[in-house]
Amino acid sequence: MNTENREDSLTLGILQTIDKQNNVTQRHLAERLGVALGLANSYLKRCVKKGLVKIEQAPANRYLYYLTPKGFAEKSRLTTEYLTVSFDFYRRASSSCIDIFKQCVVENKNEVLLCGVSELAEIALLRSREFKLNIVGFYDSEYAEDSYLGFPVWHDIKNISGFNACVLTALNASETELNNIIKYSGKSRLFIPDILDIRLTGGNNIE
């Protein structure tokens, strides 16, 4: 997610939360957005400065937050933009996954490991049901849990066996992580959806 998209996402989250609950605390707002308290406070101040949110003091040193007419309009705009982008991502991701799974079937690589817990992984899992494939689980070195959507999650690719295809589903995989996947899975078993715009060159080089 680039900086502009992240800013829009956080702004939309603030406006949606305040619209539903005007006595929300900044700590609760931070928890809802999944960010640090200081960052939530900073974005809330931006919304106030832009005239999207107004503040009224309540008893016991508490504050009430309200959307201004400009805030309601901005919430509607960002919601529409978010839905448009989300639909476009789903469409492109679905097409990319279908192409990958068709190739897996042709190459008789039916035991598939998804590399990266993400929105793309969920779409890949959904699209895999259209093919005679077995999703063995997920590899994600940073995901905290041991399962995802009912499938096992491995945190070390060296511990995984029983797959003959890897589909990259991490949205922000580092070059180091990609090289690690290639090292232990083999370049011939790694499939990268077009939507990620990652290409492997000679050897294990990535561009």
Residues 162-183: what's their mean pLDDT?
89
Residues 44-49: what's their mean pLDDT?
93
pLDDT tops 50 at residue 205:
no
Residues 111-139: what's their mean pLDDT?
94
What is the structure's pLDDT at 139? 96
CB 190 within 8 A of CB 168: yes
What is the structure's pLDDT at 204? 42
pLDDT tops 50 at residue 125:
yes
Of the candidates 139, 131, 135, 141, the residue with the CA atom closest to the CA atom of residue 168 = 139
Higher pLDDT, 3 or 138: 138
The 8 Å CB, 24+ separation contacts for 71-79 are 71/15, 71/18, 71/47, 72/19, 74/11, 74/15, 74/50, 75/12, 75/15, 75/16, 75/19, 78/8, 78/11, 78/12, 78/15, 79/12, 79/16
pLDDT tops 80 at residue 3:
no
What is the structure's pLDDT at 45? 92
pLDDT tops 60 at residue 206:
no
pLDDT tops 90 at residue 82:
no
Per the structure block, which two tokens stand in for 90? 């789903």
- Structure pTM? 0.65
pLDDT tops 90 at residue 172:
no
pLDDT tops 80 at residue 199:
no
Which residue(s) pair with 66 in the sheet?
54
What is the structure's pLDDT at 207? 44
What distance in Å separates the CA atoms of residue 101 and residue 166, rounded to the nearest whole number?
11
Average per-residue pLDDT for the chain: 88
Higher pLDDT, 175 or 72: 72
In order of their start, the domains of the chain are: 3-67 (1.10.10.10), 91-196 (3.40.50.720)
